[in-house]
Amino acid sequence: MQRSDYYAGLDLLRFAAAGLVIADHFGLYAWGYPSATGPVADAAFPFLAPMSAIGSVGVEIFFLISGFVIAASAVGSTPVDFALRRAIRVFPALWISGAIAAAALLSTSASPAAVAGDYLRYAVLSPVGPYVDGVVWTLIVEAVFYALIFAVLWWRGTDAFGQVAKGLGVVSAIYLLILIAAEAWAGGSASAAHAVALLGRFPFKVLLLRHGVLFAVGMLVWRGFDRGFTRRDRIWLAVLLAFCTVELCVDRPGLAANLVSLGLWWASFGVLLASVAYRGWIEHFPARVPLCRALGRLSYPVYLNHYTLGLVVVPALAALGLPRPAVFITALTAVLLVSWLVMAYPERALQATFKRAMTGWHARREVAAAAP
């Protein structure tokens, strides 16, 4: 499997996952003030209330996709090239979207000094918050996964990806077993309740313990399509998929939320498999490829821009006396428009600049290596 392979289905899946996260957060926004943590009675869009327990599955879909795509993108790369390409992909939109979030917060009379500090932590993907936009936590988890792939490339190359995926999956599965055991005992034991609170803290996400099994499954799917699925590979995949199911049910209240979230994630897993297995089918519909690519590219700035911007825009529109449907449509349109502008202009320009710098760096290295 070559790094240049394109999977249109994965771009569509990314956009759908971003939509789920947007629905989750829009369902949490307050009507009269900028907040996503207010009481249910203050919710701006009560019809989205069910998404508060379901929409976050979009993040778990993103992690599954990343396990596959990042493993595939590392083929034929040196560790340094891999790291540079990831940085060029991640940081331009991150910096621009963070500036937009900072401007939105400043419009609410937030402290400029506090916003500046929050932006700096956001811009460098600091594992210690707070940030101008809370969704950045997933980018920090992704960055740790990239660092793992970088280290493996430096150590043994892509040949070790299968072993690393299994190791990551096992460590994550052990963590999940400990977590659910602690939750089972939490009702009758203060120490178990304390353990649950401790295991739920952000460092366990940063260390890939909470979501590592999702990345691992994506990596194993890549390896299976790249080298063929052996019987042992299928067993490993089945076991880790079972733990993905466990992870998806942690912290989600109610049977309905769990079943819907599981259905969405498993359907996404099916789309991943179909997108790879039948990628040649897209060649019969070449006109659709640009649209798929555009939606795939748009999903990242949409994800970065929707939370803080929506948080501020919704109550601002409500203050104008607009009805709820109009506020919802206008706020969502604003998020999509701002995200498209970020993608079409400053993100593209910054990426082109960094790519030229990367090409120049390679040229200088080649000249230096050829010099007597």
133 touches 311 (CB < 8 A): no
Q: How far apart (Å, rounded) are the C-alpha atoms in residues 67 and 215?
A: 4
Q: Flag whether 241 is in a domain.
A: no
Per-residue pLDDT 10s for the chain (372 aa) are 444 478 989 999 999 999 999 999 999 999 999 999 999 999 999 999 999 889 999 999 999 999 999 999 999 999 999 999 999 999 999 999 999 999 999 999 899 999 999 999 999 999 999 999 999 999 999 999 999 999 999 999 999 999 999 999 999 999 999 999 999 998 778 888 999 999 999 999 999 999 999 999 999 999 999 999 999 999 999 999 999 999 999 989 899 999 999 999 999 999 999 999 988 776 566 556 788 899 999 999 999 999 999 999 999 999 999 999 999 999 999 999 999 999 999 999 999 999 999 999 999 988 888 877
Q: Flag whether 177 is in a domain.
A: no
At a CB cut-off of 8 Å and minimum separation 6, what does 201 contact?
A: none
Q: Flag whether 195 is in a domain.
A: no
58 touches 17 (CB < 8 A): yes
Q: Flag whether 298 is in a domain.
A: yes
pTM to 2 decimal places: 0.96
Q: Flag whether 148 is in a domain.
A: yes
CA 183, 213, 210 angle in degrees (round to 5)? 40
Q: Flag whether 213 is in a domain.
A: no
What residue numbers bound the domain in which 69 lies?
8-155+252-358
Q: Flag whether 328 is in a domain.
A: yes
In 3D, which of 333, 299, 279 has the Cα closest to residue 89?
A: 299
Residue 340: CA atoms inside 13 Å, Cβ hemisphere, count? 8
Q: Flag whether 279 is in a domain.
A: yes
Q: How far apart (Å, rounded) are the C-alpha atoms in residues 330 and 274?
A: 35
Provide the number of structural domains found in the chain: 1
